[in-house]
Chain A
Amino acid sequence: MSLLIEQALNGVQLGFMLFLLAAGLTLIFGIMGVINLAHGSLYMIGAFAMAWVANVTGSFLIAALAGLLTAGAIGMLMEYFIIRKLYTRDHLDQVLATFGLILFFNQLTVLLFGRQPLFVQIPGFLEGSILLFGDVRYPVYRIAIIAAGLLTAIGLYLLIARTRLGMLIRAGAANRDMVRALGVDIRLLYTVLFGLGAMLAGLAGVMAGPILSVQVGMGEQVLILTFVVVVIGGVGSVRGAFVGAMIVGVVDTMLRAFLPQAFRQLMAGPDADALAAGFSAMGVYMLMAFVLLVKPKGLLPAHG
């Protein structure tokens, strides 16, 4: 039982990481109609900026701030110089251009930081693990990730539901052309929004820094999974991204944790483990295909 609870917590924690990435991606996807393959690069940039500053200053908080701001700033520059020219193009051009950006950012990071992964220490106040209840121990840092994800989700909800910016975001998701026709400075809105999405990706990178290895190519590893989340949740919907992220996080974790045992009932140990590992890797993609077949626009589509 305690194993089940711990695995569920792991699933939720993965879900929150995915949510941070997916929220930014879905906003950009839904409102500007841009497929940004380079979203993973922003995650990587956030992590690298954070790792570098943390090693120079020794302060986790300053480093976290630096990671957020760097990702946000680079996101806005990217929007201003490149993405802006792609709004009117079809998805194909966007895919190609942002793929080019991935190549560039990855290799630039190699030039700046080398190929060896960077190391970030977990800050002292988040180290260790605590006893939650019964015999369930859980690392403090992972609880912090869940908390940060939860705060971001609430913050985003308030931003979208209660502020003028949020109103524009909702209007933009529902009918982009109408917002433009009503005289809103859509260019500025887009730049700000892109920066916000980039910052969310940067935040995910910052949170990931101390537990994963900060290395070139880390962005692409999560990018595809993030796309799965966005599509399952419904393109353009932040609520959908939240639901999708939780589902993907929990399903992926549970399959990895419990599928081998299920397979062991049917066949010999080593074969079962290897086969189950393969099937659990396919799991989220099967889930996505299933969701799209039943609800072609995703679970909670933003419009229509």
Chain B
Amino acid sequence: MADLKTTVAPASAGRTYAIIAIVLALLAALPFIADAIGQPALTSLATRISILAIGAASLNLALGYCGLVSFGHAAWYGVGAYVVGIMYRHSVSGDPFLGFSIGSDQLLVTLPLAILISGLFALVLGALSLRTSGVQFIMITLAFAQMLFFFFVALKAYGGDDGLIVRRRNVLPFIDTRDGPTFYWVCLFFAVAWFALMSRIVTSRFGRVLEGIRQSERRMAAIGVSTYPYKLACFVISGMGAGLAGALMANHARFVSPDMLHWTQSGEFMIMVILGGAGTLFGAAAGAVVLIGLETQLAALTEHWQVILGPLLVLMIIFTRGGLSGLVRLLRGGRNE
């Protein structure tokens, strides 16, 4: 995997910020553009992509920057979504939960709580999982995710396999989240904030230690860094990001089901990260755009779209290293290492 630095040399910093500003302006204008070209459903698609990009970016932190190949990312995503679903259910029915009145449909309440609870789950299960490494780590994260999946399937009180319907989106003061474009801007805001946070993290001292661990854990241990707390912190932050994405998705889809914790969902997040290039900050976003875009476009072409998408993924992996960012480098004539 190529060594990609997200730090920007001062001379080109201005240009980079200019590009970011233009891209952001375009993204913010997307609902108007979508209306103008007669494709209003594009806004909903863009909302979904920006939510999944948050999830992919948080997996990227663990996977790309810290070398923790987690095959259970969907677990935290699903837990976040269930927090929203369960609190909504209680706010409608008014029933207390274990004696506490936990119902709420305020986004400012549900969202932080979703992030917190996903983080707690990631903390406990991560602390156990991190006792292993390599292939075993991939598999133990998968096992925990499957456990949670079956837990929610058996959770009859909250819909079990059929999931929970969130009839109305959580509300925000002064902002109408039921309006499609408005909710898109809300999600875009969180996505931008999350990417900004990621960018701060990976360039901080903490981020450098993570990078060091990814390259050689033994070396970091040798220079006196106790790696376990760093890895755990990284894993928990990654889980919190997934919880944020899950909570937003529960609001967007107005529906929560155990499918969100299924291993294929974890696989989809992994594909986004790898497609975009693991360990590159915006790779996760690019991966989400390309994967969801491809799925939607190909599904519109033929019902057998997977026959095209499958080989496309294989070719992509074989001929480019580091996914899309590898492809970009390849096209620029750069060396592929």
Contact = CB atoms under 8 A, between A and B. Distances in A.
Contacts of A275: 154, 156
Contacts of B156: 271, 274-275
B270 A96 contact: yes
Contacts of A296: 131-133, 136
Nearest to A111: B304
A289 B128 contact: yes
A107 interface: yes
A293 B128 contact: yes
Contacts of A86: 317-318
B314 A231 contact: no
Nearest to A235: B135
B318 A82 contact: yes
B120 interface: no
Interface in A96-143: 96-97, 99-108, 110-111
What class of interface size applies to chain A in its complex with B? 35 or more
Nearest to B268: A99
Nearest to A92: B274
A285 B146 CA distance: 7
Contacts of A90: 1
Prevailing SS type, chain A contact patch? helix
B69 A279 contact: no
B113 interface: no
A259 to B, nearest CB: 12
Nearest to B304: A107
Nearest to A96: B274
B154 A274 contact: yes
B310 interface: yes
Interface string A291-303: 0110011100000
A85 interface: yes
A106 B307 CA distance: 8
A82 B304 contact: no
Interface of B: 1, 63, 69, 71, 128, 131-133, 135-136, 138-140, 142-144, 146-147, 150-151, 153-156, 263-264, 267, 270-271, 274-275, 278, 304-307, 309-314, 317-318, 321
10 contacts: A82-B318, A85-B318, A86-B317, A93-B321, A96-B275, A103-B307, A107-B307, A285-B144, A289-B140, A289-B143
Interface of A: 29, 35, 82, 85-86, 89-93, 95-97, 99-108, 110-111, 220, 224, 227-228, 231, 235, 271, 274-275, 277-279, 281-282, 285-286, 288-289, 292-293, 296-298
Interchain residue pairs A-B with the least CB separation, the first 9: A278-B154, A104-B310, A100-B313, A103-B310, A107-B306, A103-B306, A281-B150, A97-B317, A231-B139
